[in-house]
Chains A and B, each alone.
Chain A
Amino acid sequence: MGSRRPDRRGFLRGGAALAGGLTLGAVEPALGQKTKSGEFIKGSEEMIAYGERSRFVNSVRIQHPPGGRPSPDAFGLVFHVAAPLQDSVGMITPSSLHFVGTTRGSFIPDIDPGEHRLMIHGMVDRPLTFTMEDLKRLPSVTRPHFIECAGNRSRSQHKTVQETHGMTSCAEWTGVLLSVLLKEAGVKGGGSWIVAEGTEEVKGASSIPMAKAMDDCLVAYGMNGEPVRPQQGFPLRLLVPGFEGIFNSKYLRRVKVVDRYYMTYNDYGHLRQDPDGAALGYQIGPKSVITFPSGGQQLSGPGFYEVSGLAWSGGGAVGKVEVSTDGGQHWTDAEIQGTPYRMAHTRFRHHWNWDGQETELLSRCTDELGQVQPSRAQVTKFFNVNRVPGQDNSIQPWRVASDGSVYNAIS
């Protein structure tokens, strides 16, 4: 992957040069767009039926953490894989590049949607079973939401933004609000938690507070305009917007309404010794990262660059993003793309003229609740430990060297 980067950058630079040529004369771009020796992409039935990207685009997911277990392994088990955020544009992650997290190494279940059922039971007046057809009859919503793994953590040995931040992605999800299904079943008094469970071999289950279940949880059958992909939970995934990734149960088959925290295997892994650490679990904190320029990329020389990145928060919509191009001495509000959605990646942009001197690029997110993304120094001071415990939503510094190379500046 790393060796392919210069090619892609070269390709982009070529494109930029072409755009510059437009102002010189109308003849230039027509010549520039001519293919070498009449090369064409030959049509095939497969490519007409289901399109594919250019062979010059080679952005791929990688195993996470870097150097960890390969995915898939020799048995076809899938482990964590991270999204190539360094190549991302806009706010949506293509389904094929969306990060994948698994409770443990998993075989992806091959579920026939015609046979899939979702059961709502426990402390309800009417237990109910829904087929996929049933669910598609009910009122639906479509919302962009990020999902981020709680283990999405930047370390000094990580080189690229894919390694530091690739365990987050954002897709447009379509489905039925869980509150619609719970009201249809009728939650009994005292029903204060739900346990959501998947169909896969470990039957992964998580406890979720009823306040969240009734607020904005989404039983999703659609993702980016098509059915949810198998790696993402086909045919049905529970979206728990803004909560740590593990809550977003794939292959959802059962929701049990209960009167207390049920302490599943997934839940026990969330327990903390320290009340502050526990309070910082569940909901993802305000977070942002610059995706261009980012670690491993190369600036061609001094001059204009659009600094661009992603911001998100489990607390709601992104309020503002500030960017510093001088290592945190000065901060400027970045331009936010459109109106930020709640619990969704938000693209930010900042115009920058690089003077060719070594510097550090930083971004800082403030969400609609006023929560501010902390620096690593603030986090370690708060917890009085020399590391970031729990979720890591600290500010990511990228060092731009005078030769234009970009490095992870975490020490």
Chain B
Amino acid sequence: MEAFTMRFLSVLPLVMLLGGSALAQSPTYGVGRTPTVEEIRAWDISISPTGEELPPGSGTVEEGALVYRRKGCAGCHGRTGTGGRSDRLVKRDAGPDADPWDLGRILPIRAPYATVVWDYINRAMPLNREGTLTADEVYALTAYLLYLNDVIPEDKVLDAQSLPQVKMPNRDAFAPLPDWKPGRPRLLGYPH
């Protein structure tokens, strides 16, 4: 029985491969339209942790401080990013060797990848004028916020190459994600 199972498992990837490609060649219903490459590019604002989709452009800390003032970020987040009507953007003071988790649920410090900061500013800021920032402005704002949180030095220039290389303090400090499978308890033995 065990030998049979092993044999079966060894051919399984081949079966899946064939099944996958057979499926690929024949849509079942033929409903829907093929979008153009331009349409996909215009809609696809997702940025992966390694930043493949990042657009050309660049920004510095100094430019970011200027954009922060010009775009009215201070109106909600405070003049120095310490918060106001909306979220605080600068880490809390938790001592020099603080665990990154003690610095607050603050995007530009808790996010494990700098791409998350870029992505959120790009898709969701500023309030009521979302999507109006240029790529240069988003790079600059990201640089400014990462500088305020002591993640990058003042002279750092962020672009599609350097942004994904930024090492966020929380990059390796979060728990592995649950490997979700249907019909399985969340955590065996919980809570007893």
Footprint of B on A, CB under 8 Å?
Answer: 104, 119-121, 125-130, 134, 137-138, 180-181, 183-189, 195, 197, 201-203, 205, 209, 211-212, 215-216, 253-254, 256, 258, 260-265, 268-269, 271-283, 285, 314-316, 369-371, 374, 378-379, 381-382
Contact = CB atoms under 8 A, between A and B. Distances in A.
Given A197-B46, A263-B115, A274-B175, A371 B32 contact: no
B107 interface: yes
A268 B184 contact: no
Contact of B27 (A184, A189, A215, A316): A184
B88 interface: no
A117 B13 CA distance: 35
Contacts of B113: 263
Interface stretch (B57-65, B123-131, B135-143): B123-131
B3 interface: no
B9 interface: no
A280 B33 contact: no
Nearest to A209: B180
Given A134-B32, A256-B46, A269-B105, A203 B130 contact: yes
B175 A121 contact: no
Contacts of B192: 378
Nearest to B170: A271
A184 B186 contact: no
B111 A371 contact: no
B176 A275 contact: yes
Nearest to B86: A104
Interface string B177-192: 1101111111100111
Nearest to B187: A279
Given A254-B43, A268-B111, A128 B33 contact: yes
B187 A261 contact: no
A328 to B, nearest CB: 15
B74 to A, nearest CB: 18
A181 B32 CA distance: 9
Given A263-B115, A268-B116, A275 B105 contact: no
A119 B35 contact: yes
Given A203-B130, A278-B175, A279-B186, A186 B35 contact: no
Contacts of A283: 178, 180, 186
B38 interface: no
B31 A134 contact: yes
Interface stretch (B17-25, B90-98, B148-156): B17-25
Contacts of B49: 260-263
B159 interface: no
Contacts of B185: 315, 369-371
Contacts of B181: 211
Contacts of A121: 35, 40, 43-44
A268 B110 contact: yes
Interface string B36-51: 0001100111101100
Contacts of B35: 119, 121, 127-129
A188 B21 CA distance: 8
Tell which of A215, A277, A283, A379 has the most Cβ of chain B within 10 Å. A283
B18 to A, nearest CB: 11
Contact of B32 (A130, A195, A256): A130
Contact of A203 (B123, B176, B180): B123
A258 B176 CA distance: 18
B46 A189 contact: no
Contacts of A277: 175
B33 to A, nearest CB: 5
Nearest to A187: B20
B4 interface: no
A165 B25 CA distance: 48
B80 to A, nearest CB: 21
A337 B24 CA distance: 43
A129 B33 contact: yes
Contacts of B176: 275, 278
Given A271-B170, A273-B101, A279-B186, 11 more contacts: A127-B35, A184-B27, A211-B182, A216-B182, A262-B49, A265-B124, A275-B175, A276-B187, A282-B186, A315-B184, A315-B185
Given A138-B31, A201-B128, A265-B119, A189 B180 contact: no
Nearest to A210: B180
